[in-house]
Amino acid sequence: MTAKISRFLANDEPDTPCLVVDLDVIEGNYRALRRYLPVAQVYYAVKANPAAPVIDLLAGLGSCFDTASRAEIESVLEAGAGAERISFGNTIKKQRDIAWAYERGVRLFAFDSEAELEKLAVAAPGSKVFCRLLMNCEGADWPLSRKFGCDAQMAKDLLIQARDLGLDPYGISFHVGSQQTRLDQWEVAVGKTAMLFSALNEAGIELKMVNLGGGLPARYRDDVESVDRYATAIMDAMTRHFGNDLPQMIVEPGRSLVGDAGVIEAEVVLISRKSYDEDARWVYLDIGKFGGLAETMDESIKYRLETGRDGPTGPVILAGPTCDSADILYEKFQYQMPLSLKVGDKVRILAAGAYTTSYSAVNFNGFAPLKAYFV
Ligand SMILES: *Cc1c(COP(=O)(O)O)cnc(C)c1O
């Protein structure tokens, strides 16, 4: 936790649960990525943390933006970034939203199917389009597999069709899966991409861009490789498969820019046991799956937790405050917490800046959406 965040929590004593984000950390992460991967243009994946202070900061630093909806595009335009810095990267768009974006000047769109291509041809004529490749997302703690992308053969046919429909077949995208813990996953993806570049070249189409997606990790319970190692792995894969003739490169980090920048402060509402002979305590917090910790689904993302207490610890099952039995955070993976933990104690959830506020429910059980402060 940074000094700025501790100071804010100590001085302002905000009501819990709340997220506190240190914007300097986001700026540092952005600059580090630019430093280690200077040839790639950064398109921040807005969904990771769509708050205005984050968008404003990154717009000011020169970032471009990967967006999924009208509202995300509007927030980027409001931050003063022009339409030329926006990619409409969702492969599932309403035709009227495509038309709306096109009218505002957006000219870069993702697709992974024939039906989407047909919408783009009508509603965004002449635009640059890139085809998303299907990935298996091995090694990712939060896989984005199955739902997105098409296989290479189909991608080839669709990009030819894009040209025939009057669009600009611009490139290939992929996402190796979010919180990708393996450095070698870009190698596979870039290899497939380079093969498609050649295949399309033979069909008279010169692709210009590789969109390397997101996937760079934040640091949760387990240590992860540093950003420079990821950048090296990506550049090695690119030069191995493209030689010196590198195409335009795009990266779409979400989690790796904002995850480490935020801390959630929560409070213990209840500590109980289910029977006299059970060892594990149930610890109920004032935040759960519906209050912003949706990525604990299947215990996929394992946050680092801190309490103000020390001394001997014992196993706990962690759960949220709502009246839904799905609202259990960690049960299979047994967290340990101090035996001295008391109702009313604060619990800090570290590296919680990504995919928390944007995942919190509007008013389930009357609990307000996760509040966020930016310092
Ligand atoms: C969510 C998303 C990202 C960001 O992924 P991270 O793993 O958070 O970096 C990037 N690109 C697309 C298309 C996405 O949907």
Domain ranges of the chain: 23-258, 260-374
> What is the pLDDT at residue 211?
98
d(CA 222, CA 315) in angstroms, rounded, equals: 19
CA–CA separation, 100 and 48 (whole Å)? 23
DSSP 318-372: EE-SSS-TT-EEEEEEEEEEETT--TT-EEEE-S--SSSGGGS-SSGGGPPPPEE
Q: For residue 185, what are its two tokens?
A: 């996953």
* Cα-to-centroid distance, 214 and ligand 1 (Å): 4
**Contact assessment for residue 142 and residue 184, using Cβ atoms and an 8 Å cutoff:** no
**CA 61–ligand 1 middle distance (angstroms):** 19
Residue 138 clears pLDDT 90, i.e. is over it: no
- Closest ligand 1 atom, CA of 47? 1
Specify the pLDDT at position 297: 96
pLDDT band at 64 (very low <50, low <70, confident <90, very high): very high
Out of 131, 137, 150, 323, the active site residue is 323
Find the mean pLDDT for residues 34-56: 98
CB contact at 8 A, 218 and 255: yes
Per-residue confidence (pLDDT) for residue 372, from 0 to 100: 98
Q: Which of 345, 346, 370 is nearest to 358 (CA)?
A: 370
pLDDT tens for each residue of 140-152: 998 877 899 999 9
260 three-class SS: helix
Give the mean pLDDT of 292-309.
97
For 26, the token pair is: 């986001």
Measured distance CA(203)–CA(327) in Å, rounded: 52
CATH topology for the 23-258 domain: TIM Barrel (3.20.20)
pLDDT tens digit sequence for 234-253? 999 999 999 999 999 999 99
β-sheet bridge partners, residue 66: 45, 87
Q: Determine the 3-state secondary structure of 170 from DSSP.
A: strand
Mean pLDDT across the stretch 29-41? 98
Q: Which residues line ligand 1 (CB under 6 A)?
A: 45, 47-48, 66, 89, 175, 178, 213-216, 252-256
Helix (H) or strand (E) holding 111: strand 108-111
Testing ligand 1's pocket by substitution, the residue of 252, 355, 358, 359 carrying the most ligand atoms inside 8 A of its CB is 252
Classify residue 271 as left (phi > 0), alpha (psi -120 to 50) or beta: beta
Query: Mind listing the pLDDT tens digit for each residue in 216-227?
Result: 999 999 999 999
From the alpha carbon of 253, which atom of ligand 1 is closest? 9
Q: pLDDT category, 257, cuts 50, 70, 90?
A: very high
Question: Catalytic annotation on 18?
Answer: no
pLDDT at 41: 98
One of 2.40.37.10, 1.10.1270.20, 2.60.15.10, 2.120.10.30 is the CATH number of 260-374, namely 2.40.37.10
Q: Nearest C-alpha to atom 5 of ligand 1 is from which residue?
A: 214
Instruction: Yes or no: say if 47 and 298 are a contact pair by the CB < 8 Å rule.
Output: no
Q: With bands split at pLDDT 50, 70 and 90, how would you rate the model's confidence at 76?
A: very high
Which residue CA neighbors atom 13 of ligand 1 most closely? 89
Tally of residues, the chain: 375
Distance 47 CA to ligand 1 centre (A): 8
pLDDT of residue 137: 82
Residue 196 region by backbone torsions, left for phi larger than 0, else alpha for psi between -120 and 50, else beta: alpha
Per-residue pLDDT, 144: 78
